[in-house]
């Protein structure tokens, strides 16, 4: 192996002493670093008094853009954010960014091509201090007979789009269903993202008995679009209240059409019967299709009337005012449900109820953990091959390496410091080496609890054989690094790599294994 003699002139012996001192100091510094890393882990104790809310992700829901400037559908601009927020509250724990603050930041950005650029979205995120932004637009089709709603879920912390949802709907009551689908689609995107990053176990599916179907049949008594929208909203509110409190599956007649693929001629026939108050014919049609229970709902002027149908028989009608307070509406629904022989859902066991209420917590770390600066303190075991194996069969030692995002989130700079010692064989009693490498680190899989990356690096090793001489050889390294997070700061790190030493006299290949701890800066 090539080397440079340290014994020069008459001062050779002193040079050897100085060299040994340098080696000793190197190992002292190295193990001090490892000791400091261990002490930092021991010192990290979770602070129980930390505010829970400060760790929750902040979600900003922007007003949806009315690209077609349709005055008849301005209500969608704010209805969509409300529907999205309700769906998210049922699934996640998070902090909603103040809508007023969001509206102010949104008003300061220009719309380009019917939407916002990612630069504008990032500025809104920064101004509102939000981690997730939900935004989108809606427009009428060219024939102006349908509305197209488009929504985007953006992870501002990770600077990436989590998902998009697009839904087209006729300009009828189906628009409410489209809004529900958009809201649910957004929730599913965030849920899948949280599931992936936080490794949350999906809820086990519970087999339940089939719910009794009850239809909400709306009498089309409206004459203007405004009256129609009012009636549809009343119908939707009624459906949500009934589904939330009472046994059975409550769906509107319009949802029934879609769910069971009722032909258009039959739909028109039912609507005509409803318009002319031919309740018996509607009941007969429902009974023939196996549905014996329904609520016939009439919204006219300032009054809502509900006529329950039980096993094909018409029961006592219940009415309330459209502008009545929520409590009065609930009492009216309770009365009609009692008449219709609909029982309330049984009260759940407190423990089961608590489990059911558990939500996924959207943390800031869930969103920001993707790109981290990590320094690792690793112990190493190295097996040599080739000509190098004829001198030293294996080495033990350590490594300190670091990776961090710079310019590109998918390609990190990578640096390492290595040291090792190996007992020799044949004419070589022992050998030590130390060196440095630099290269690139590619985070192939990034989750908050688990990261898998590959790296390639090159550098140089210097060392000494039998305390006689120093050598300096170039080296190339290629391998992978796996990090398992223990806390937001610390992880267990494992690495496998292969190295090649470029030496004319004793070229060698080595297989390297590393195990230690990582610290996220």
SS (H, E, C) 242-274: HHHHECCEEEEHHHHHHHCCCCHHHHHHHHHHH
In a domain, 203, yes or no: no
| Statement to judge: residues 16 and 151 lie in one domain | no
pLDDT under 70 in the chain at which residues?
1-54, 173, 194-222, 301, 344-372, 407-410, 426-428, 446-448, 466-468, 488
In a domain, 307, yes or no: yes
DSSP of 119-138, one letter per residue?
A: HHHHHHHHHHT-SEEEEEEE
Q: For the chain, count helices (H), then strands (E).
A: 13, 23
**pTM higher than 0.85, yes or no?**
no
In a domain, 392, yes or no: yes
| Statement to judge: residues 513 and 378 lie in one domain | yes
- pLDDT, tens digit (0-9, with 9 covering 90-100), for 128-153: 998 889 998 888 888 888 888 888 88
CATH number of the CATH domain containing 227: 3.40.50
| Statement to judge: residues 447 and 411 lie in one domain | yes
Give the domain-ending residue among 135, 168, 197. 197
d(CA 381, CA 479): 14
| Statement to judge: residues 181 and 300 lie in one domain | no
What pLDDT was estimated at residue 38? 46
CATH number of the CATH domain containing 122: 3.40.50.10070
d(CA 169, CA 176): 9
| Statement to judge: residues 158 and 228 lie in one domain | no
| Statement to judge: residues 179 and 218 lie in one domain | no
| Statement to judge: residues 422 and 493 lie in one domain | yes
What pLDDT was estimated at residue 380? 93
Number of other CB atoms surrounding residue 32 within 10 Å: 10
In a domain, 353, yes or no: no
| Statement to judge: residues 221 and 331 lie in one domain | yes
In a domain, 263, yes or no: yes
Residues near 395 by beta carbon (within 8 Å), at least 6 away in sequence: 380, 381, 382, 384, 420, 421, 422, 431, 433, 510
| Statement to judge: residues 303 and 165 lie in one domain | no
Give the domain-ending residue among 197, 232, 263. 197
| Statement to judge: residues 146 and 190 lie in one domain | yes
- pLDDT, tens digit (0-9, with 9 covering 90-100), for 309-359: 887 788 888 888 877 787 888 888 888 888 877 776 666 555 555 544 456
Identify the CA nearest to 293 among candidates 266, 280, 311: 311
| Statement to judge: residues 327 and 301 lie in one domain | yes
In total, how many domains does the chain have?
3
In a domain, 205, yes or no: no
Query: Which residue range forms the structural domain that includes residue 278?
Result: 213-339
d(CA 7, CA 14): 9
Phi, then psi, of 6 in degrees rounded to 5: -90, -20
In a domain, 50, yes or no: no
In a domain, 417, yes or no: yes
CATH number of the CATH domain containing 461: 2.40.160.20
| Statement to judge: residues 71 and 179 lie in one domain | yes
> Are 24 and 475 within 8 A, CB to CB?
no
């Amino acid at each position: 192996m090539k080397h440079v003699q340290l014994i020069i002139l008459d001062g050779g012996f002193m040079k050897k002493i100085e060299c040994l001192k340098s080696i000793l100091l190197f190992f002292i510094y190295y193990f001090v670093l490892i000791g400091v890393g261990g002490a930092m882990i021991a010192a990290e104790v979770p602070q129980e008094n930390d505010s829970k809310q400060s760790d929750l992700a902040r979600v900003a829901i922007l007003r949806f853009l009315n690209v077609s400037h349709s005055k008849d559908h301005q209500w969608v601009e704010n209805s969509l954010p409300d529907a999205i927020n309700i769906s998210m509250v049922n699934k996640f724990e998070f902090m909603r960014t103040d809508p007023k603050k969001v509206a102010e930041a949104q008003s300061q950005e220009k719309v380009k091509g019917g939407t916002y650029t990612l630069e504008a979205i990032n500025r809104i995120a920064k101004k509102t201090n939000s981690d997730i932004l939900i935004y989108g637009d809606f427009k009428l089709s060219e024939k102006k007979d349908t509305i197209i709603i488009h929504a985007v879920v953006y992870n501002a912390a990770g600077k990436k789009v989590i998902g998009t949802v697009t839904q087209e709907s006729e300009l009828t009551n189906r628009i409410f269903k489209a809004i529900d689908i958009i809201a649910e689609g957004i929730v599913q995107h965030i849920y899948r993202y949280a599931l992936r990053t936080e490794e949350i176990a999906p809820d086990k599916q519970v087999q339940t008995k089939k719910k009794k179907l009850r239809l909400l049949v709306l009498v089309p008594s409206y004459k203007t679009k405004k009256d129609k929208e009012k009636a549809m909203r009343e119908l939707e509110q009624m459906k949500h209240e009934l589904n939330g409190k009472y046994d059975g599956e409550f769906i509107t007649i319009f949802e029934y059409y879609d769910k069971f693929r009722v032909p258009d001629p039959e739909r028109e026939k039912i609507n005509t019967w409803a318009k002319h108050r031919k309740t018996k014919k509607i009941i007969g049609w429902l009974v023939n299709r196996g549905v014996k229970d329904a609520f016939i709902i009439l919204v006219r002027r300032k009054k809502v009337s509900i006529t329950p149908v039980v096993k094909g028989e018409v029961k006592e009608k219940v009415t309330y005012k459209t502008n009545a307070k929520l409590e009065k509406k609930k009492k009216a629904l309770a009365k009609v449900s009692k008449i219709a022989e609909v029982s309330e859902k049984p009260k759940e066991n407190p423990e089961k109820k608590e489990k059911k209420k558990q939500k996924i917590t959207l943390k800031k770390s869930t969103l920001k953990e993707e790109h981290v600066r990590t320094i690792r303190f690793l112990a190493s075991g190295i097996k040599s091959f080739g000509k190098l194996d004829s001198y030293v069969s294996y080495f033990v030692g350590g490594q300190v390496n670091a990776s961090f995002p710079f310019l590109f989130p998918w390609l990190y700079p990578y640096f390492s410091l290595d040291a090792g010692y190996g007992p020799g064989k044949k004419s070589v009693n022992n050998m030590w080496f130390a060196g440095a490498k630099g290269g690139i680190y590619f985070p192939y899989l990034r989750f908050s609890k688990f990261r898998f990356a590959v790296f390639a690096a090159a550098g140089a090793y210097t060392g000494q054989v039998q305390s006689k001489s120093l050598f300096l050889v170039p080296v190339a390294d290629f391998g992978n690094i796996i990090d398992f997070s223990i806390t937001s700061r610390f992880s267990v790190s494992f690495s496998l790599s292969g190295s090649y030493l470029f030496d004319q006299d004793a070229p060698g290949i080595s297989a390297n294994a590393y195990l230690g701890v990582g610290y996220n800066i």
